Chains A and B, each alone.
Chain A
Amino acid sequence: MLVYFFKKILFLLSSLFLLMTLTFILMKAMPGDPFSQEQAMSRQEHHSLLKQHGLNLSYLEQYKNYLYSTLKGDLGNSLIYQNRTVNRLIRETFPTSAYLGLQALTLALSLSLFLGLLCALKPDSPIDYLIQIVMALGISIPGFILATILQYLFSIKWHLLPIARWGTFSHTILPCLTLAALPTAFMTRLIRNNLLEVLQMDYIKTAKAKGLHPLVLLLRHALRNALLPVLTYLGPLASVLLIGSFIVENIYSIPGLGQWYVNSVTNRDYPLIMGLTLFYSLLLMSLNFIVDIAYGFLDPRIRIFSEEE
């Protein structure tokens, strides 16, 4: 287990290093410097600004400084908004995004578990087909289109839920549904197929032959093994939710970090884009790391195979 753990840690660290190098190169690949757009500025002022931000040093020195400040946890400043550091922005707006994301995650997990079980109980029945068709639609309709459809039906046509903004629980329902649609569809399919596969195994047949109730068999013996692959999907799931949050927060005007990210892209606020990209990547990579460790912990086959390699 320890070997496995250290392997994964080494992997995470090298990915992080590569990521930081890549962002640095991309940042330097942009033409001009952050202050070259300002017109009313003398040469001297320009030079002192560069000096203040350490941009007059050699690339190697800048790279070293960048790595150092990033490792210290300083992700930089916004160009457009005065006195707004990336760190402060994350502190203020990320909780909203995280709340929405967790709510969608809970919904997706419980809904897909329920639907997947329902399908696997009676494979190839009408209800199985119905669920599969709905899930195929869930996979094919992009988030921004689903968001618009939901807004139109529930807010404009039937006046049931608020169309946008943030505050009470009723505000969270539509964004949460939009965000959860794609992961629910994926996981339902995953759970259904895994369950059907596991149900073919010998130990299930043994349990069945011993006269176990089908429901107990499904819940206690089959589900446990069928859920393992779902755990590996949690990494990609996090990135689906993240990308979804950019769209959902934008369409429903939710004051979360995703909204700011999209704004910074639209405003071409380069340091903000870089800082937030770094933050998001860090978040996803650490989540993947945690999932890997948990997987190795729960399924000994994985870590033994990895150690032998």
Chain B
Amino acid sequence: MQRIVPRLHRTAWQKFQQQPMGMCGIYLLVALALFVSLSGFFSPFRYDEIHLIAKNHPPSLRFWFGTDDLGRDVLIRTSYGAYISLCIALATVIIDLILGFLIGSLAALSGKKTGECLMRFLDIFYSIPTLLIAILLSVILGSGFFSIVLAINLISWITMARIVRGQLLLLKEMDFVMASRSLGASSSRILFTHLLPNTWGPIMLTLTMTIPSAIFSEAFLSFLGLGIQAPMASWGTMAHEGLAAFQYYPWRLFFPAAFISITMLAFYLIGEGLKKSFNNAPAMNLP
């Protein structure tokens, strides 16, 4: 009995490996991570190191991606931006999983009335446009890493809670749960060995949508000037600064922009691969 769960995961992974799109996404992400960490490790520069002699230097052997208006190396700033994006993605995953799991299973497993009330309440919150509230919040909280994470994730976990609840409600009625219950399994055993492991598919799929949307939101907030502030660097901030001078110094926009696009593409491909291997798509979500 106990070996069913790992085997189930293994088959899902095997199925995923057969999807060329999904694997392409994984390779892209790994290549990106490798490039960013290697360049961060071996670069002779620091992300806030200023070279006033080499202002707006085009890409060369010394500065692979060129420099910005203060002579800071764009390559090391890009990999530092990746680190920021990674942190934001990680925070999103943690908040999504903890809150989404807790509230979602609470709504699914508590009594029908309580669950319904909770969901209606969340629905109301959910109908408020997220990015607008994020803008408001970051205006009030001031710019900075934590206010950005808070602003982005204040409402986004509700998607996860809805997915978890829907999945649990579906599974609760399945025959194998009934069989397990009739064999005398306790509620907690049913929850942990039967229900939760089976929610992983849709959860992973939801994460492939919430992570890029968090990264995109950061870029968007940075574009409005509400994002991470100098000397720290995020892709959004760098693209925003590069935009003003892109006719003369295109590399300052090109590199951060390319990295944002590649990351988004990678997550999109992974999501498509997952969707095909799990073969059940959750509700449409905002990009």
Contact = CB atoms under 8 A, between A and B. Distances in A.
B287 A148 contact: no
A118 interface: no
Interface stretch (A91-99, A120-128, A138-146, A297-305): A138-146
B136 A137 contact: no
A18 B124 contact: yes
B230 interface: no
A30 B138 CA distance: 11
Given A186-B287, A266-B225, A136 B268 contact: yes
B132 A280 contact: yes
A236 interface: yes
A156 B250 CA distance: 13
A240 interface: yes
Given A145-B239, A229-B284, A273-B139, A239 B268 contact: no
Contacts of B140: 26, 29-30
Given A247-B223, A266-B224, A144 B239 contact: yes
Interface of B is mostly: helix
B127 A285 contact: yes
Contacts of A182: 287
Contacts of A268: 139
A136 B284 contact: no
A232 interface: yes
Contacts, number: 111
B284 A232 contact: yes
- Interface of chain A, helix or strand or loop or mixed? helix
Interface residues of A, number: 49
Contact of A14 (B124, B135, B286): B124
Nearest to B267: A140
Interface string A246-261: 1100010000000000
Interface in A163-186: 182, 186
Contacts of A190: 284
A140 B223 contact: no
Contact of A11 (B123, B131, B219, B226): B123
Interface range on chain B: under 10, 10 to 19, 20 to 34, or 35 or more?
A: 35 or more
A281 B128 contact: yes
Contacts of A309: 116
B224 A236 contact: no
B220 interface: yes
B279 to A, nearest CB: 12
A47 B122 CA distance: 41
B124 A11 contact: yes
B284 A145 contact: no
Contacts of B285: 236
Contacts of B264: 139-142
Contacts of A137: 261, 265
Interface of B: 116, 120, 123-125, 127-129, 131-133, 135-137, 139-140, 216, 219-220, 223-226, 239-240, 243, 246-247, 250, 253, 257, 260-262, 264-265, 268-269, 284-287
Given A15-B124, A148-B246, A247-B220, 15 more contacts: A137-B265, A139-B287, A142-B216, A142-B219, A142-B261, A144-B240, A148-B253, A229-B284, A236-B286, A239-B129, A246-B224, A251-B243, A265-B224, A268-B139, A281-B128
9 smallest A-B Cβ distances: which pairs? A140-B264, A140-B265, A145-B257, A15-B127, A236-B286, A15-B124, A141-B261, A140-B261, A284-B129
22 contacts: A11-B123, A15-B124, A15-B128, A18-B128, A137-B265, A139-B265, A140-B264, A142-B257, A142-B260, A142-B264, A148-B253, A152-B250, A190-B284, A236-B286, A239-B286, A242-B129, A246-B224, A247-B220, A265-B135, A265-B225, A270-B139, A274-B136
